[in-house]
Amino acid sequence: MSLLDDKIDLFLTQAALADRKANYLPMLAAFFGEPGSEAPHVIYKRSVLYFFHGAKLMQTHPIVAARSTDATVYTFDGERIGRIQPAYYLGTATAGGKGAGSAGAASGSASSSFLLFDDGGSSNNNNNNNGNNNNG
């Protein structure tokens, strides 16, 4: 087993596809071994493998028997494995199952974010409003 095969094996294990290694290890090894491919990487999200060369989507491969409700996204570029949890980036709007478009979550987060930047109405624009013109 090559070093790439070991990394693919680890990716499949992390993405909870260890029971399908016999099917997907050769497919992924062939994809990453293609000569002249530009920045190959794979994304696994909700039971679908997406194969990319750079920013171009080359193919998708749904894994029907693996119907996942897990929103975690796994990325693999042949060297590094990444794990992205949407709740970390989107906050509790998706963690509670309401979705990012939830009016209650959006209004609550918007009002609190504006309060963080409230300076009591003073304007301290360091460019021109405090007598610090640097025009000449």
Give the separation between CA 119 and CA 98, rounded to whole angstroms.
32
Position 126 confidence tier, pLDDT thresholds 50, 70, 90: low
Give the separation between CA 31 and CA 45, rounded to whole angstroms.
18
The answer to whether residue 8 sits within a structural domain is yes
Residues of the chain with pLDDT > 90, as a percent, come to: 38
The answer to whether residue 133 sits within a structural domain is no
Give the separation between CA 52 and CA 47, rounded to whole angstroms.
16
Per-residue pLDDT at 88 exceeds 60? yes
Mean pLDDT of 72-90: 86
Q: Do 48 and 59 contact (CB within 8 A), yes or no?
A: no
Selected residue with higher pLDDT from 34 and 107: 34
The answer to whether residue 28 sits within a structural domain is yes
Domains of the chain: total: 1
By C-alpha distance, which of 84, 67, 66 is closest to 75? 84
Mean pLDDT of 48-63: 92
Residues of the chain with pLDDT > 70, as a percent, come to: 61
Domain of residue 75, residue span: 3-88
State the pTM of this model.
0.62
Position 64 confidence tier, pLDDT thresholds 50, 70, 90: confident
The answer to whether residue 24 sits within a structural domain is yes
The answer to whether residue 100 sits within a structural domain is no
The answer to whether residue 67 sits within a structural domain is yes
